[in-house]
Structure 1
Amino acid sequence: MRRRNIWALLMYVIVMMIIVVESSLHRVGGGRYNWNPDVNFSDWANQQRFYSGDWLFFGFDRTHHNILQVNKSSYEQCIDTDFIFNVTRGGRDVFQLLQPKPYYFICGKGYCLKGMKLAVNVLPQPPPSTPTVPITPTSTATALIIPSSALIAVAAAILTAFAFKPSYVY
């Protein structure tokens, strides 16, 4: 039973080390803009690449604005009823783009008609062999890439630590 647990732990550690986690934080509107009226968020979004796992950061005055996730029809017509999710918490809010699909956001306090709306098309994560995204002021990227020699060394260390205990240790 103990050996089975050791092997399960070893496999878990190896899998966790192999997985490449890469995500970016996108400051909505870029470095100079926040979630405000009269900003062309469509132009900004068209210059970005969004991948599943990425985050959107919205900075705004919550007494005047909010962020609602809506469907495509509500986005196009600036309808703030029957929204999917109210992202608004404190004026410096984040939203994680979990699935590869289009996401739509509007300001539900009447400013959608002044351009406070955002549509992003989220792509699936690229394969691990792809180079990491460069770090810019508007995004951060983290990646964990472990060479196979390091995985073998870790596996050997774990096996040595757990599998070759003296017989008197139970």
Structure 2
Amino acid sequence: MEETSFFKLCSFLMVVLMIDVQFLKSATSHNYTVGDEGNWNDEADFVSWSQKYKFKVGDVLRFKYVKGQHNTYEVTEATYRSCDASSGVLAKYESGDDQVKLTQAKKYWFICNIPGHCLGGMRFGIDVKEASASDPGANTPNSAISPPPGESSPPVSSCRSYDPVRWSMGIHLVAFGILL
């Protein structure tokens, strides 16, 4: 009998610890759908979109698009500025639902390498900062990197993205209820 109570107490403490970890994760990182509800396409203004947020290490960018019609390349600044991906490509994503975790405090540059798309505005740069506990996070203006002079894109509206961390926390709460 006493052994069963000890097991329940240990299980309870593990669930509480997992919930605490999930709260910490959700407080320090965010998932952003690139282009908000406009997604990653040739009609959105990605420079304006990137200026709406303050990106931190641990955040995730989600590029949603029709596979085969677009792609996502992480590139160097020179490749971003020239839209010539014959060199300077750091990573290629072509799934239609690409998730890029921002793992370092640095400038990131992204383009679509389908002919004409980058020059048409499917590109942006962001300056990712170290995460801090006192940082308010999402929806804070960011000093995003501007396109070369004379280039712009049409406006885009905003929408919150799906956050799997919150779903994970819900699953942990259900598991906790089952253990009781």
Query: Which interval holds the TM-score relative to the shorter structure?
Result: 0.5 to 0.7
Aligned length: 125
Offset at 1:38? 2.9
| Equivalent position of 1:49 in the other structure | 54
The one-letter amino acid of 1:113's match is L
Alignment of 1:19-168 (within 5 A): 20-21=24-25, 22-30=28-36, 32-82=37-87, 83-88=89-94, 90-110=95-115, 111-126=117-132, 128=133, 130=134, 133=137, 137-138=160-161, 140=163
4+ aligned runs moved over 6 Å, structure 1: none
Offset at 1:131? 6.4
Residue by residue over 1:46-91, the C-alpha shift from the partner in whole angstroms, topping out at 9 and shown as x without a partner, is: 1111000000000001211111110001001111122111022x20
Larger Rg over CA atoms: 1
Q: How many percent of aligned residue pairs carry the same amino acid?
A: 27
Alignment TM-score, normalising by the size of structure 1: 0.64
Runs (5+) with no aligned partner, structure 1:
1-12, 144-170
Offset at 1:92? 0.9
Mapped to 2, the partners of 1:132 and 1:121 lie a distance apart of 16
Alignment TM-score, normalising by the size of structure 2: 0.61
- Residues 113 and 23 of structure 1: CA distance in aligned 2, closer, same or farther (over 3 Å): same
RMSD: 2.8
Runs (5+) with no aligned partner, structure 2:
1-13, 140-158, 167-180
Mapped to 1, the partners of 2:138 and 2:48 lie a distance apart of 21
Mapped to 1, the partners of 2:70 and 2:54 lie a distance apart of 25
